[in-house]
Amino acid sequence: MVLVFFCAALSLSWWGTGMLQRHVAERLGMIDRPNERSSHTTPTPRGGGLAIVAVSLSLCLLLWQQRLLSPAFAMALVGGGAAVASIGFWDDRRHVPAAGRLLVHGGAAAWALFWLDGLPAIDVGKETIVLPAWGAVLAVFFLVWLVNLYNFMDGIDGIAGVEAVTVFLGAAVILHAVDTEADLSVFLALAGAVVGFLRWNWPPAKIFMGDVGSGFLGFVLGVYTLYWPMHSRMSLWSWVILLGVFLVDATVTLLVRAMRREKVYVAHRSHAYQRLARKFQSHQKVTVGVLVVNTCWLFPLALGAAFQPAQGVWLTALAFTPLVTLCFWAGAGKRLGGRAI
């Protein structure tokens, strides 16, 4: 059944993205034209993430109907995910002010937390910290930050898709390792949907994900991060480690730009991954690099955190240290030639 959902999601997303690329994007005016902040040089359709959203939400509803997904988790995913995807789709067509996007993102995060019915405990050494009621505010900020950082990190061909696939599949393997009774259908369904999209987004990309897809994936991964530690033996630290590349690059870049008193909400090309893509003159090398880091470095540490949650904070520090170092080496958030790019 798990393989059926994976293959069905892959096939439907592959077909749907192709239809968007060939017949729909241009009609809707969803063409990304190069400018001084772009990482591409030719006009390219965007909004391909719509196929990921449609396939993922449809399969989530099917899993709910088949009682393979809890009603609360399905409501959090489908309701909040649809809201984030909708505002992203509109932004791909017509620009939406940042305040409007954040309002919708915050509402979707609050909706998800209402259905999740609580927050995961945090293991720090021998102590287990249970967040009080005000922790929900932190959780809302966390979800909104993940939605937006995923959009920030979707700046070169294939990177957002590779991140999602490796996190979904890595989490599925870890969850199966610590809880052999856990159902993995929802992990494989979403991974399959992203793999199908990657057929069209792999460098050189024929279509971009757009805000409709990047925001949706950031939201879904955030909901997973909060839900599964409460309903399985998988540690919260495992999720944080798996998301390390995007969390570290986006956060370091934001902090550096904030310290330079730049307008952090203005589009730019100063993330570490964007600088590395220019340095190596290749999107593919950086995207493959993310694949290797996630698989060979972050996944083993996330697996270790699942079996030893008390050591999660130290394993996270170990996982993040070389990533932070790489960001500073690459010049994340810094100006180039006297102007932000």
Rounded to the nearest 5°, which phi and psi values hold at 281?
55, 40
Distance in angstroms (rounded) separating the CA atoms of residues 175 and 224? 12
Distance in angstroms (rounded) separating the CA atoms of residues 318 and 248? 13
Distance in angstroms (rounded) separating the CA atoms of residues 48 and 28? 12
Per-residue pLDDT of the chain (341 residues; tens, 9 = 90+): 788 999 999 999 999 999 998 888 888 888 887 765 666 668 889 999 999 999 999 999 999 998 889 999 999 999 999 999 999 999 998 889 999 999 999 999 999 999 997 888 888 877 888 887 788 999 999 999 999 999 999 999 999 999 999 999 999 999 999 988 888 999 999 999 999 999 999 999 999 999 999 999 999 999 999 999 998 889 999 999 999 999 999 999 999 999 988 877 777 888 999 999 999 999 999 999 999 999 999 999 999 999 999 999 999 999 999 999 999 999 998 876 434 33
Distance in angstroms (rounded) separating the CA atoms of residues 149 and 218? 8
Rounded to the nearest 5°, which phi and psi values hold at 333?
85, -5
Q: Is residue 320 part of a domain?
A: no
List strand residue ranges (DSSP E) for 108-261, in order: 122-124, 127-129
Rounded to the nearest 5°, which phi and psi values hold at 127?
-95, 145
Distance in angstroms (rounded) separating the CA atoms of residues 259 and 255? 6
> Cα Rg for the chain, rounded, in angstroms?
19
- The DSSP annotation for 218-255 comes to HHHHHHHHHHHHHHSS--HHHHHHHTHHHHHHHHHHHH
Please check whether residue 317 is in contact with residue 247, taking contact to mean a CB–CB distance below 8 angstroms: no
Q: Is residue 340 part of a domain?
A: no
Please tell me the total count of domains within the chain.
Answer: 1
Query: Which one, of 201, 189, 219, lies nearest residue 88 by Cα?
Result: 219
Q: How far is CA 210 from CA 145, 162, 256, 322, in A?
A: 17, 15, 25, 29
Query: Which one, of 33, 38, 95, lies nearest residue 269 by Cα?
Result: 38
List strand residue ranges (DSSP E) for 84-237, in order: 122-124, 127-129
Q: Is residue 305 part of a domain?
A: no
Q: Is residue 65 part of a domain?
A: yes
Q: Is residue 319 part of a domain?
A: no
Q: Is residue 314 part of a domain?
A: no
Q: Is residue 315 part of a domain?
A: no
Q: What domain range includes position 225?
A: 2-234
Q: Is residue 247 part of a domain?
A: no
